[in-house]
Amino acid sequence: MAKYKVDITGLNTKDIKVLSSMETLELFKQYQNGDETAKEKIINGNLKLVLSILQRFNNTKHNMDDLFQVGVIGLIKAIDNFDVSLGLKLSTYAVPLIIGEVKRYIRDNTSLRVSRSVKDLAYKIIQFQSEYQNMYGVMPTYDIIAKKLEVSEYEIANALDSLKDPMSIFEPIYNDGGDTIYLSDQIADIKDINTDRDMLISLRKALQKIKDREKDILISRFIVGKTQMEIADQMGISQAQVSRIEKTAIENVRKLIK
């Protein structure tokens, strides 16, 4: 487990106190009554929450000290806006805000730039996800977000994808002990562009000929990026039914593009 440890300069993680739920609640009461020292205690008592989140970013090129400071900013925002009357744990509310702050920092400090409109939509999605989860205890599905923000599910997937770190084309993606396969090996050769275009045209025609439900499931799965369970909840059917329809749809498309 040592490789997952997050080392922060000047911070001894063994000395960090973790607050219990009762201690946190009592400190929030004090803070809401104007005691700023209580807020500081809440922050210090939840630093390990920030560290646990940073574990997933431990393999990035970014300085972990900087990410820790950014994560603490997300924690402070969560504390400032947390409503104890909802009966939720602070961690439930704080986690998406901390992750959002860290991802925003990483995105804004990479050479790959994302358009302002996509960034703004990503921020709105994260905020709505946080509010929805706090209210209902579960993350909203793409169709719920789409209706609320009046955008397409594809735009939602695209905006959330913009928060992910860019990958080098020389990134190794597979090694079975022999030759390493790099991302660049999987990128289409420009010499084959006409073949790819013909294949796309055939695929579009095939999608128009299969059943609407089959087409909807293929688009949701392989373009929007939904899971079978999410599609099942949206359509009001079982995950097993979605799996069967998806398999049939793929077989039908294959027959049509041969």
Same domain flag for 148 and 196? no
Same domain flag for 17 and 88? yes
Structure confidence by residue, pLDDT tens digits, 17-71: 888 888 888 999 898 888 889 999 999 888 988 988 888 877 667 778 888 889 9
More confident residue, 22 or 115: 22
Same domain flag for 143 and 203? no
Q: Which domain holds residue 222?
A: 183-257
Q: Kindly state whether residue 172 falls inside one of the protein's structural domains.
A: no
Same domain flag for 49 and 153? yes
What CATH number corresponds to the domain at position 239? Answer: 1.10.10.10
The DSSP bridge partners found for residue 258 are none
Range name among 113-122, 124-133, 184-193 with the lowest pLDDT average: 184-193
Same domain flag for 207 and 126? no
User: What spatial distance separates the first Cα and last Cα of the chain, rounded to whole Å?
Assistant: 50
At residue 182's C-alpha, the angle toward residues 195 and 168, to 5°, is: 100
Same domain flag for 139 and 192? no
Same domain flag for 45 and 134? yes
What CATH number corresponds to the domain at position 96? Answer: 1.20.120
More confident residue, 147 or 258: 147
Same domain flag for 65 and 188? no
pTM as predicted: 0.42
Q: Kindly state whether residue 225 falls inside one of the protein's structural domains.
A: yes
More confident residue, 123 or 13: 123
Same domain flag for 137 and 245? no
Same domain flag for 48 and 134? yes
Q: Kindly state whether residue 11 falls inside one of the protein's structural domains.
A: yes
Same domain flag for 48 and 142? yes
The model's confidence at residue 3, banded by pLDDT at 50, 70 and 90, is very low
More confident residue, 68 or 180: 68
Same domain flag for 132 and 189? no
DSSP-assigned letters across all residues of 155-221: HHHHHHHTTSPP--TT-EEE-SSSSPEEGGGGSPPGGGHHHHHHHHHHHHHHHHHS-HHHHHHHHII
Q: Kindly state whether residue 174 falls inside one of the protein's structural domains.
A: no
